[in-house]
């Protein structure tokens, strides 16, 4: 297969050995309490730190789609390394992790480009970006074989978020999509301040309030490196019929490292119909 995006964080952010990786993810799933939802999961929010920090939080989200089947996954993350305008799609080929290759749903990617001028081919945005790759092994274990559309947001302003959400909804009207937003919350504050900042975001996630989230991010009342992807997931899931929302798990890095003077916040959430 041509145009394969190779892993850039296997062996550092998560295990590079396939058997160890599967074992670790299975362990995270075992530690998630049983929870039954009354409807179909349309959207998920999951963190994107190294698995030792945020893997358990991510498992609360991915546990809810284990064994489910979707026509495609739409995976949205922020750009950490490259500045650019709009939203970059990796329009063909596949992404590779130690668990194998995940093919891009090329038809769906093309439909999104046609639906919105902000969705562009800009491969450099994906080359070293970890926010999408970190989600793939969880999706591979939870879903088995699936195809996806990788989207990296260069702009995370409200207009871009609304535009991208509309494009996803338009392309997903006659498909069963799973929309996944990759985001961490506040960065490098002490425990009490981090919890206060993150509490603002968590309320918006719980209430499916994308506009409130975007407003408070713009006013620095809360923080998230993937605030745009989270807002897009909320808007697009709602546009595809999700009417229920739930914050599943919150923690911060200090609860793992023991250092509560400079922490990063992590949350997972679900949107379902």
Phi-psi region of 258 (alpha: psi -120 to 50; beta: other; left: phi over 0): left
pLDDT score at 196: 98
69: domain CATH number is 3.40.830.10
Give the global pTM. Answer: 0.96
Q: What is the 3-state secondary structure (H, E, C) of 131-198?
A: HHHCCHHHHHHHHCCCCEEEEEECCCCHHHHHHHHHHHHHHHCCCCEEEEEECCCCEEECHHHHHHHH
Contact predicate 211/158, CB 8 Å: yes
Coil vs helix vs strand at 115:
helix
Of the pLDDT bands very low, low, confident and very high (cuts 50, 70, 90), residue 91 is confident
- Convert the pLDDT of each residue in 130-178 to its tens digit: 999 999 999 999 999 999 999 999 999 999 999 999 999 999 999 999 9
pLDDT score at 218: 96
Of the pLDDT bands very low, low, confident and very high (cuts 50, 70, 90), residue 1 is low
CA 236 – CA 232 distance, rounded (Å): 6
* Residue of 90, 92, 42 whose CA lies nearest to 244: 42
Q: Give the C-alpha distances (Å, rounded to integers) separating 77 from 27, 30, 37, 95, 145.
A: 25, 26, 25, 15, 21
Give 247-267 as a DSSP string. EEEEEETHHHHS--SSEEEEE
> Is 90 exceeded by the pLDDT of residue 10?
yes
Question: How confident is the model over 242-249, as a mean pLDDT?
Answer: 97
- Convert the pLDDT of each residue in 166-225 to its tens digit: 999 999 999 999 999 999 999 999 999 999 999 999 999 999 999 999 999 999 999 999
SS3 content of the chain, % helix, strand, coil (to 5): 40, 25, 35
Of the pLDDT bands very low, low, confident and very high (cuts 50, 70, 90), residue 36 is confident
Of the pLDDT bands very low, low, confident and very high (cuts 50, 70, 90), residue 118 is very high
- Convert the pLDDT of each residue in 52-65 to its tens digit: 999 999 999 999 99
> Is 90 exceeded by the pLDDT of residue 125?
yes
Domain count, the chain: 1
Map tokens 């990617």 to a residue: 109
∠ CA 6-9-14, rounded to 5°: 125
| Share of residues in the chain with pLDDT > 90 (%) | 97
Rg (the chain; Cα; Å): 17
Q: Which residues form the domain of 206?
A: 4-272
Coil vs helix vs strand at 66:
coil
Give 204-224 as a DSSP string. HHHTT-HHHHHHHHHTTSS--
pLDDT score at 43: 98
pLDDT score at 87: 97
Length of the chain: 273
Of the pLDDT bands very low, low, confident and very high (cuts 50, 70, 90), residue 2 is confident
């Amino acid at each position: 297969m041509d145009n394969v995006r190779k892993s850039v964080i296997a062996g550092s952010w998560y295990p590079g050995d396939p058997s160890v990786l599967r074992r670790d993810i299975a362990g995270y799933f075992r530690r998630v309490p049983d929870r039954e939802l009354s409807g179909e999961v349309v959207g998920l929010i999951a963190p994107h730190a190294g698995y030792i920090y945020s893997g358990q939080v991510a498992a609360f989200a991915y546990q809810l789609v284990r064994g489910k089947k979707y026509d495609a996954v739409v995976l949205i993350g922020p750009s950490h390394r490259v500045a650019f305008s709009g939203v970059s799609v990796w329009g063909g080929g596949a992404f590779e992790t130690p668990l194998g290759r995940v093919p891009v749903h090329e038809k769906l990617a093309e439909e999104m480009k046609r639906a919105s001028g902000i969705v562009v081919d800009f491969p450099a945005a994906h080359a070293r970006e970890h926010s999408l790759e970190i989600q793939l092994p969880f999706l591979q274990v939870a879903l088995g074989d699936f195809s996806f559309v990788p989207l990296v947001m260069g702009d995370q302003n409200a207009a871009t978020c609304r535009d991208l959400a509309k494009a996803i909804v338009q392309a997903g009207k006659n498909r069963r999509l799973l929309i996944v937003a990759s985001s961490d919350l506040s960065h490098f504050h002490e425990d009490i301040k981090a919890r206060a900042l993150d509490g603002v975001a968590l309320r918006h996630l719980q209430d499916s309030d994308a506009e409130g989230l975007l407003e408070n991010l713009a006013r620095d009342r809360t923080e998230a490196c993937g605030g745009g992807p989270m807002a897009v997931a909320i808007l697009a899931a709602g546009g595809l019929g999700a009417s229920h929302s739930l914050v599943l798990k919150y923690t911060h890095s200090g609860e793992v490292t023991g250092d509560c003077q400079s922490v990063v916040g992590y949350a997972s959430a679900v949107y379902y119909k």
